Amino acid sequence: MAAVGKEDHSPFTKYGKTIQDGDMVIAYVNPLDLQAVKIVKDGTMNNKYGAFDHNSIIGKPFGTRVLSKKGNGHITFLHPTPELWTACLPHRTQILYMPDIALVSSLLDLKPGAVVIESGTGSGSFSHSIARTIAPTGTLHTFEYHEERVLKFKDELASHDLSSIIHVNHRNVCKDGFGLTGVSDAVFLDLPSPWEAVAAAKETFKKGKVGRICTFSPAIEQVQRTCEELEKFGFYDVRMFETLIRRQEIKTLQKKPLPTRDNVTGFTKRESPKRKRDGQDDEDEEAAEGGEKEDEEAATGDKADQVVVSRTVQNVAGHTSFLVFASIFIE
């Protein structure tokens, strides 16, 4: 059952306004240079721009930009979030990124108070996102067969104050099962052979309500075997998704005029063969020229001369894995 009345002090689930002694912050230099730092009194952080005194950071609002002692560079100190942690965490395995995390969280119907089972803890990227979503009264039971990864993740949880929400287990669920019965609302499997854990996963779902499962597999052959096993054990509404990113680059360009007889080189204006009345032709030409000038002046403004366009950026990482979703009702 989900715990009730948990104390919530984690920066990943509760936001503060100012940086305090002992807080973890994300030191942001650029999108490719982020670092998690614990702020301590009289401490110092060093990077390519030089030294940054922790004392000059304590008491400042999150998001403050601080200059180095030499004044040759600055760092922005941000509040920790699962998204920022995913961008700077130490990689022990392949991790889930935000496009997949967002889709999985939505289709598994994760929400505060939910009990979730995750197998394949890895580097803990998805675990932090789950914890924020199900806090403050939810519980995540995460399983990892690699003992060293388990120990490192436990240390991270202790420093992030997430041990009350995330329970880490050293266990091979494909061989030994989960050891839990009738407790979960959702199950996520990030395993080499997820079909071997489907039977054990079925036993973990709560009775009398719909449970949801998701598997994360890089190969289509894994998807095929998993789908066969899901149908064998009574799962329904089996669906597969592939999350791809198509990033658009936005630019503002200057409009180019359409070709007309006035701006095309070599165009010869032909006079009208009709005879014009004396004096009338001069007046008509002046009126026409005046109208053209007004149109040109109306189109000379900044907004009128610019157009916003977009194009797809080609060097974007594509396929990561296939996501298989299914539901089950346990009577």
* 190 belongs to an annotated ligand binding site: yes
Same structural domain, 44 and 171: no
Ramachandran angles phi, psi of 78, nearest 5°: -105, 155
Determine, yes or no, domain membership for 260.
no
Determine, yes or no, domain membership for 161.
yes
Which domain does 40 fall in, by range? 24-78
- Neighbouring CB atoms inside 10 A of 183's CB total 16
Cα atoms in the 13 Å half-sphere on the side-chain side of 62: 17
Determine, yes or no, domain membership for 273.
no
Determine, yes or no, domain membership for 263.
no
Nearest one of 280, 6, 330, 10 to 160, comparing CA atoms: 10
Peptide bond into 136 cis (omega under 30): yes
Same structural domain, 127 and 216: yes
Same structural domain, 73 and 119: no
| 281 vs 110, more confident | 110
Residue 186: partners with Cβ closer than 8 Å, 6 or more residues away: 108, 109, 110, 114, 115, 116, 117, 211, 212, 213, 214
Q: What is the DSSP letter of 184?
A: B
Residue range 131-166, pLDDT digits in tens: 999 999 999 999 999 999 999 999 999 999 999 999
pTM across the whole model: 0.78
Same structural domain, 62 and 101: no
How many structural domains is the chain composed of? 2
Contact at 8 Å (CB) between 309 and 256?
no
Same structural domain, 28 and 68: yes
* 161 belongs to an annotated ligand binding site: yes
CATH code, domain carrying 37? 3.10.330.20
Residue range 174-232, pLDDT digits in tens: 999 999 999 999 999 999 999 999 999 999 999 999 999 999 999 999 999 999 999 99
Which residue shows structure tokens 């010869």?
268
Same structural domain, 71 and 208: no
Same structural domain, 125 and 173: yes
